[in-house]
Each structure stands twice: as structure tokens, then as C-alpha cells.
Amino acid sequence: MNTHTHPAAARPRRRAAAGRAATRRRRLGLALGAAALLVVAVLTLQGVFHHAVNEITLPLQHEDIIRQQAAEKDLDPALIAAVIYAESHFVPGRTSSAGAEGLMQITPATAADIARRSGGTKFVTSDLATPQVNISYGSYLLRELMSRYDGNEVAALAAYNAGPGNADRWGGAALRIADIPYAETRAYVKKVLSARERYRHSYARELGY
């Protein structure tokens, strides 16, 4: 008995097998495409979620002004952002019990003195509600304190919070966090330095790194 398959009979089976293989490849391609779209969607949602969380837990506004003032006064833009975060959480119009106003919590007396020394002749207290003015004056003060304490950020921030007189008594340019006797000021310095690192990581592009 002849057991060999006739070539004409084998061709339909080969075409069927090729068709099944092509179908499997199409299905695999579709599955891979769907998986890729799912990954993109998940990453996009993670980015949106991360941004939304940052807007609540680590807000950033007026980054153009912050970048400008950082460049003009040779300051770390993340440090300016962190001071604003600690002082007002980027909420405009805040006034402290000591009368400090605005995003960087500047007192009218300090602002008037900065205006006089920096050549501003038309300063009025209501100007502190303007982000450009408030961040400019706060950055001016921060730059002065950084220079006063030879770049020691701990001393500069302690002075920003508790006044230069206290920072001088606590150690001046050699001041360390552990040397600060006021719990409030010690916590303030830690908060600003921690926030600065978070701003550098979370807002590198916005802050010009």
C-alpha cells in the first residue's frame, strides 16, 4: 500500500499551518501592543498622581521668579523654594503674629530697610503681597545672611527664623543644628534643609537644574 502523501494533498495542510502561525503572530503582536499601551498608561497615571501629590505636599509656584532671584543673588533656587515652603507653604497673603507678611514672611520694617539699602525708593507695605517683591526681598535677606555666616546654611536659616543676634550667640558661622537651643528654630532649619533636597529631586526642571 502506498503510504506517501501526494504533494497536492500536502499543500492545503501546509497553508492551514501557515495560516495558524500567522494568526498566532498577529495575536502575539496585539497582546504585546496592548501590554505596551498599558505600561504607558500606568506610567502616565503615576506621573499625574505624583504631580498631584506634589502640589499638595510639596507645592511650587512662581518658579520663574525663584530662578531669577537665585541667579541674581547667587542662591540655590531649591533653598529659596524651601524657605517659602517653610514660611508660608506658598499660600499668598499670610501674616504672622509678628507682622511678617507674604510668601517669605518679611516684616514691613525689614522690607523698608532692604528697599532703602537696595535702592528701592517707592516701597509701601502692600508691596509685600506681590510675589515678585516678596521673593526678591526674602532672597536679598537670605543672601545677606549667607554672606554674613560664610555660606553656613544652618546659621543663615537660624538667623532668618530667630534673628542674627541669636544666631551669633549660638555660634555664628560655626553654628550646627545641634547647637541651636530653640526647638522651634532647630525644627525650622531641619524642615528647610529637608525640603530643599525634595525640591531639587522633584522640581529639577522647573527650578533650572
The residues annotated with a catalytic role in the active site are 87
- Return d(Cα 185, Cα 187) in angstroms, integer: 5
* Closest C-alpha to 65, from 141, 142, 138, 135: 135
CB proximity list for 163: less than 8 A, separation 6 or greater = none
Q: Which positions ≥6 away from 141 have C-beta within 8 Å? A: 104, 106, 110, 114, 160
How many CB atoms sit inside 10 A of residue 10's CB?
11
Residue 205: CA count within 13 A, CB half-sphere: 0
DSSP lists the bridge partners of residue 106 as 101
129 contacts 103 by C-beta, under 8 angstroms: no
Amino acid at 120: G
Determine the 3-state secondary structure of 106 from DSSP.
strand
Q: φ, ψ for residue 77 (rounded to 5)? A: -60, -35
